[in-house]
């Protein structure tokens, strides 16, 4: 019931119409009988700072941050959690007493999605992409103590930037170009391969995978952070190779669950959130 004690929670991005976060969070808020509502706002980059100030002024409990604001929002926050600072990206902002603090639940959500399938983050890791999600996954893997994290991206300099962050955490790292010959060898060695690019996402779900799956080890775990569609061209190609595959829905669920706990200080109703996502897809 919305009354004078009502507290809003938000999501900002550009665009946001495709997001399943409102459905997931509102199902959880209802299950916990909280007088809160989660709403999505399409915020163009030039209005990012104003949107943060507006949410503070309107008494928001907090808000999530998605593409393209995860990196650019850092200067507009009062405080940033150490993990998010290392990743250079924020996806969750908590507002308390008019002050903002940024967190990143993407990395923890990704690791939780692996644990959900009984998979341990170890060995050689290959991450495709150099955006906020790629940073989060790379840093989370490094903090888990993997042997090496390789970043593959069309822009080699952007890949090197993430690689330097990983090395600062004491883990070996390497950057490769999508067009370079080194990529084939990295694919052959990788224990876990992660697509953190939007390739294969609706409405371009028929786009070919970002790499040639023929070079994968049959024992490799292939993760696609795309969750719409649930079964991407990459996942289908990797399964035909004999690989274990994980879609992006698990990461979406668990990063959302961690954000819910930050917003409410309550244990998230995981299964209700999972069911809501299944309905949304």
Contact of 279 with 147, CB cutoff 8 Å? no
Owner of token pair 């808000």:
63
The alpha-carbon radius of gyration of the chain (Å, integer) is: 19
Please answer whether residues 29 and 2 qualify as being in contact, where contact means their C-beta atoms are separated by less than 8 angstroms. no
* Cα–Cα distance, 249 to 229 (Å, whole number): 10
| Rounded-to-integer distance, Cα 21 and Cα 25, Å | 6
Cα–Cα distance measured from residue 83 to residue 266, given in angstroms and rounded to the nearest whole number: 21
| Residue 156: both structure tokens together | 């080699």
Q: How far apart are CA 12 and CA 40, in angstroms?
A: 6
The string over 26-52, giving b where at least 16 C-beta atoms fall within 10 Å of a residue's C-beta and e elsewhere, is bbbbeeeebebbbebeebeeeebeebb
At what angle are helices 249-264 and 270-280 packed, to 10 degrees? 130
- Residue 253: DSSP 8-state: H
99 is catalytic: no
Angstrom distance (rounded) from CA 139 to CA 237: 27
Q: How many CA atoms lie within 13 A of 30 on its CB side?
A: 10
Single out the catalytic residue among 30, 70, 101, 184: 70
DSSP 45: G
Token pair recorded at residue 107: 């990395």
- Active-site residue list: 70
């Amino acid at each position: 019931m919305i009354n004078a004690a009502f507290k809003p929670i938000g999501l900002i991005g550009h665009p946001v119409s495709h997001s399943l976060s409102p459905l997931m969070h509102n199902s959880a808020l209802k299950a916990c009988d909280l007088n809160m509502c989660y709403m999505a706002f399409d915020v163009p980059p030039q209005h990012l700072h104003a949107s943060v100030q507006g949410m503070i002024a309107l008494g928001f409990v907090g808000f999530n941050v998605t593409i393209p604001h995860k990196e650019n929002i850092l200067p507009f926050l009062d405080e940033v959690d150490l993990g998010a600072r290392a990743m250079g990206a924020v996806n969750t902002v908590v507002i308390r007493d008019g002050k903002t603090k940024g967190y990143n639940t993407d990395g923890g959500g990704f690791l939780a999605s692996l644990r959900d399938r009984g998979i341990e983050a170890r060995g050689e890791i290959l991450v495709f992409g150099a955006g906020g999600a790629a940073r989060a996954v790379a840093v989370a893997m490094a903090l888990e103590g993997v042997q090496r994290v390789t970043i593959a991206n069309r822009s080699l300099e952007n890949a090197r930037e993430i690689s330097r962050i990983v090395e600062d955490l004491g883990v070996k790292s390497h950057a490769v170009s999508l067009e370079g010959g080194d990529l084939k060898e990295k694919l052959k060695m990788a224990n876990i391969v992660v697509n953190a690019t939007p390739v294969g996402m609706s409405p371009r779900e028929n786009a070919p995978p970002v790499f040639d799956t023929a070079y994968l080890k049959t024992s490799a775990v292939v993760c696609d952070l795309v969750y719409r569609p649930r079964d991407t061209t990459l996942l289908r190609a990797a399964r035909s190779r004999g690989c274990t595959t994980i879609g992006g829905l698990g990461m979406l669920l668990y990063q959302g669950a961690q954000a819910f706990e930050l917003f409410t200080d309550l244990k998230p109703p995981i299964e209700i959130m999972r069911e809501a996502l299944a309905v949304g897809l």
